[in-house]
Structure 1
Amino acid sequence: MTELELKKFPQHVFGQAFTTVKCEGLSYLPWLEKRIRASGGQVHTRKVEDLWELYGSYDVVVNCSGLGSRELVGDSQLFPVRGQVLKVQAPWVKHFIRDGDGQTYIYPGAFNVTLGGTRQKDDWNLSPDPQNSRDILARCCALEPSLQGAWDIKEKVGLRPSWPGVRLQTEILAQDGHQLPVVHNYGHGSGGFSVHWGTALQAVQLVKKLISPLKISTSKAKL
C-alpha cells in the first residue's frame, strides 16, 4: 500500500493491496448443482450412517462429508473451528479489509457486508455469543469507522471442518471378504472455497486410479 493509503490505518506500519475474486456461496453452490445436473449428473438426498450402505450401488465412494466424517468413518483427527461473523448492511463499503492474522476482516458482498470473526478450535457451539459480536463490531469499526452506521446486523455461526492438513487420500475398506474403494476429500477448514477446485481435481485423479483396474470408463463410473 502507498503511504497515502496507509494513512487510513494509522495503527499499521505496512499493508498490501490487491485485486481478487470473492466467492458468494449463496449463488455459487446452486450454480455448481445446476452444472452437475446439466452434465448428466444426478443429485440424491439421503442420510448415510455407514459407507457400507453404498456397497453394491457404487463402484467408488468419494467422501466429502466434512465434520460428519467423525462419525461416518470414525475420524478422531477431525475437529471443528468455530466461526462467528456479522452480516450487516453497509452499501458504501466497496473494498475488503483484512487485518493482521486474519481474524478481523470486512468483506463486502452482493447482498451484505461480512464482518469477522472468530477462530475457536474444538468449539461446537452454534449459538451466537453476544460478547463475540461486540468484539467483532469493535474491531471492524476500528478499521472502518463508517461501519458504526451499519444496520440490519445479523449474527451467523458456522463450524469449519478442520484436519491436520486436508485429508485427500484413498482408503480401501474391507468387510466380510468385500472391498469398498473410498476417496476421502475433507478437512479444508476455513479455506474450502479457496482450494476446493484444486482438491476436487486431485480427488478425480485418485478415482481414476481406482477405477482403472475395474475397466470402467469415467463417463460410466458412479461417483
Structure 2
Amino acid sequence: MTARECVVVVGAGVSGLTTAVVLAEAGASVRVIAGQVPGATSLAAGAMWGPYLVEPKDKVDRWGQRSLEIFRELAEDQATGVRLTSGIEASRTAEAAPDWATALPGFRPCEPAELPTGFTAGYRFTVPLIDMPVYLDYLLRRLRDAGGAVERRQLATLADAGPTSVIVNCAGLGARDLVPDPELRPIRGQHVVVTNPGLTEFFSEDTGPSPDLLCFYPHGDTVVLGGTAIEGEADLSTDAKAAAAILARCAEVEPRLAKARVLEHRIGARPTRTRVRVEEEQWEDGTVVVHNCGHGGAGVTLSWGCAEEARALLFVK
C-alpha cells in the first residue's frame, strides 16, 4: 500500500479510531464504518493504562509501552481527557506487583497504614487515566482534522465495507460474525459513574480472574466505579444487582463514595481472544485485510502500539 490509497477501518471503538488516526496522519485516505460511533464498549471503559491479562506477552509489552509513551504526551493537553494520576493497586493475598507497574513513575510498596482494611499488600505508582467519552471525542476530531471520514452503517460481513482494496478490521466483538472469527468471545463489563466526593487518586484491587472487580478512577467532577468481568456474557443492559454490589465494594474501601450520586451506568462486552490478533491476510480478490482485534480489557492500553503495527503491515517501506 502507498500513501493516499483508500483504507476502510471497520469499527469506531478506541482501536478503530486510533488506527484510523494513525493511518490518516500517515497520508492514507481513511473512512471509518461502524454501526455506533464511538463504540459502546470503549465508552464504557474506566480507563487506566495497564497491560492486564492479555497475550502474547512479548508483543503486548511492546504495544503497551508504545501506547504509554503517547498517553504521557497526550496528558500534557487537558482537552484529550488523559491525565497522569497517582494511586494504589492493592491485593488481599500479598501478590507481587506486576512487572509493568514496577517501571512506572513513583512506584513503591505501600506502607501498611496506606492500605484499606483487609488488604495485605499494595503498590503506589503514577499512570495515565483516560476519561473515555472525552478521549473518544478527541480521537474523532483528530481523525477529521487529518481528512478522515466516518460513516454510520451496520455491516453484515466484512466484505460489505467495500469497494476498497484495503480493510482494517477493528470491529471488536462484531468481528466474531463479520470475519468470521470464532475465537472471539465476550467478557461483560459494567461500571457505575458517580459524582466525585473529592477523590484525586485511583484505587484498584488485583482480583485476578474473579468476575467481581474493585476499582475507582476519578475524572474531575465524576468517578468511574468498577466493576465486573463476566465470561461469555454480551448483554449490554444494566444489571441493578451488579451495580449495587459495585457501589458497596467501592464504598467499603472509600467511605466517601457511599453518598455519591449515581449519574449513569456504562456496560460493554470486552472482545477477547486467547491472543490479541494483529496480522495481515489477503483475500482471493486481492483485498488486503489487516486484523486488529481481540484486546480484551486492554484495548485502551494497547491502542497506539497496535495501531502503529497495523500501519507497518500496510505501508510500503
Match runs of 1:47-196 below 5 Å: 47-55=154-162, 57-101=163-207, 103-174=213-284, 178-196=285-303
Contact 2:236/2:267 (CA < 8 Å) preserved in 1?
yes
Partner of 1:221: none
Offset from partner CA, 1:98-132 (integer Å, 9 cap, x none): 01226210111134111111000111222222221
Q: What stretches of structure 2 of length at least 5 have no aligned partner?
A: 1-108
SS class of match (2:116): coil
Normalised by the size of structure 2, how large is the TM-score?
0.61
Letter in 2 for 1:113: V
Larger radius of gyration: 1
Give the Cα separation in 1 of the matches to 2:270 and 2:227.
13
Offset from partner CA, 1:113-166 (integer Å, 9 cap, x none): 111110001112222222212221121111111211211353322111111121
Tell me the matched-pair count: 205
Partner of 2:111: 3
Q: What stretches of structure 1 of length at least 5 have no aligned partner?
A: 213-217, 219-223
Cα 1:54–1:155 shift into 2, 3 Å: closer
Cα 1:156–1:181 shift into 2, 3 Å: same
Give the Cα separation in 2 of the matches to 1:127 and 1:65.
20
Partner of 1:45: 152
Contact 1:90/1:149 (CA < 8 Å) preserved in 2?
no
Normalised by the size of structure 1, how large is the TM-score?
0.84
Give the Cα separation in 1 of the matches to 2:166 and 2:198.
49
Partner of 1:198: 305
Q: Highest relative contact order (Cα 8 Å, sep 6+), 1 or 2?
A: 2
C-alpha RMSD over aligned residues: 1.9
Cα 1:12–1:184 shift into 2, 3 Å: same
Cα 1:40–1:89 shift into 2, 3 Å: same
